[in-house]
Structure 1
């Protein structure tokens, strides 16, 4: 499988993204990673889905993307997706997002629904969350340092996300084929009310539950997760 490395211009910054199987003519999958994830962490999924074309981006402040001093609210991350879609010339695609990437993907879908064929949303409610004072330092110390993920997201980005993120319920109806992927253990970020809300946003929404997982489905039930994604976008 061939994987190309690219950079999309978004104003004064550049957003790094990977493309697998660039010559494949089937409908590609666009991958929006979680809060501190990078495009590179989705190479295994891209390999699993081969020969389908997949595009995975690293949001601003993550991976090989640029790290601006400011610009970390919802609309800024949505613009990162739009820049990659334009640069990769994606005219029609499936949209998959994990964790906080779900908020960014739904924000993109509100503004640019035409090209999206179907939507897969993993382990996050239909909202963009503001973050409390002190969250950034706690996240840096108890998660990024503890699990050696400091290179995935820069401290400036973590602090910018705390400083700039505003609370917003993403309430526009989803007129697309939708699959919500949900862990069933205590650390899942989706509860019953969140799922009912997705049903109100998309009456035909389907749900895939992972009984041995909490929030991190890839860590505990990777094979089932990959198979579920692949089956949905056939």
Structure 2
């Protein structure tokens, strides 16, 4: 896993992760887009599997830390969905990628669809992670709640004890994945997101129906949905994907709410089948 930074014109550094394929080939790369307040490391296990050829032909994988998230900087202004989509284009320009398959989670889905509207012809396949092709105004109460709950932890054990009652995560899984979402600094352990980001997102948020942008997405579309309470895409919104992509493949992740990309046997099997189908289409 390699780290790269791009200096953006707004005066901040945009960070992305890269997994290089096991051997050079002409297969299209994969771009991963995270959701609100997450970061590109959430796709680490996916990047490793794809680049190593565990799910078919090895592919180059890029996972972007959108502005304010992960190791990316936080500009003073510019947090509309179009600004976030421009971060994707900046990475594609920097890497020389013209077309790619996309894997997007949560609010990363409408950001990706906005990217398709602003830069058509670049998405050649789309894995949709439990979110509609819509953006919504964020409630101020949401921001205030996040700010009130923001805490710097002094030890990893303290952090685990604080999150374990609300998340079913074993000590072993926590030890394996803790640095995906947290980082240890001089004064303690912080979440991998700028504390001021929620307020900036809330100020620039708006209600947008971007479903017409699905018409600009080429290639196969795979929709992953949770089966438990907490899923963020309803049946009517799933139907909108079907209308634009009649060949849409849908998968319900057993035992999942919104977190449909957590590493588990069912999810890995779905990805393996998806990328195998891309290899077959490429050869025919």
How far apart, in 1, do the equivalents of 2:149 and 2:236 lie?
29
Answer whether contact 2:150 2:195 (CA < 8 A) is retained.
no
Find the residue that maps to 2:240 and give its secondary structure.
helix
Pick from 102, 110, 117 the counterpart of residue 124 of structure 2.
117
Q: Deviations over 1:132-158 (max 9, x none)?
A: 122112134458776485432112111
Q: Distance in 2 between matches of 1:81 and 1:188?
A: 25
* Aligned: 1:137 with 2:180: no
Deviates more, 1:206-215 or 1:5-14: 5-14
1:179, distance to aligned residue in structure 2 (A):
0.8
Q: CA deviation at 1:38?
A: 1.4
Asked if the contact 1:69–1:156 (Cα under 8 Å) also holds between the matched residues in 2, the reply is no
> What does residue 50 of structure 1 align with?
51
Distance in 1, matches of 2:151 and 2:138, equals 17
Could you say which residue in structure 2 is the equivalent of 1:36?
A: 37
Do the aligned partners of 2:34 and 2:108 also contact (CA within 8 Å) in 1?
yes
Alpha carbons of structure 1 residues 209 and 40: separation in structure 2 relative to 1, 3 Å: same
Which residue of 55, 63, 76 corresponds with 1:69?
76
2:228 counterpart residue number: 185
CA distance in 2 between partners of 1:226 and 1:160 (Å): 35
Q: State the distance in 2 between where 1:77 and 1:153 align.
A: 15
Ranges in structure 1 where 5+ consecutive residues have no aligned partner:
none
Contact 1:9 1:83 in 2 (8 A): no
Change (3 A) 1:109 1:19: same
Partner Cα separation in structure 2 for residue 7 and residue 156 of structure 1: 21
Structure ID, larger Rg: 2
- Count of residue pairs the alignment pairs up: 231
- Once superposed, what is the RMSD of the aligned Cα atoms? 2.1
Structure 2 counterpart SS, 1:233: helix
Q: Trace 1:150-161 onto structure 2 (pairs within 5 A).
A: 150-161=190-201
Map Cα deviations across residues 109-139 of structure 1 (whole Å, 9 max, x no partner). Answer: 1122312210111011110111112211213
- 3-state secondary structure, aligned to 1:134: helix
| 2:17 partner SS | strand
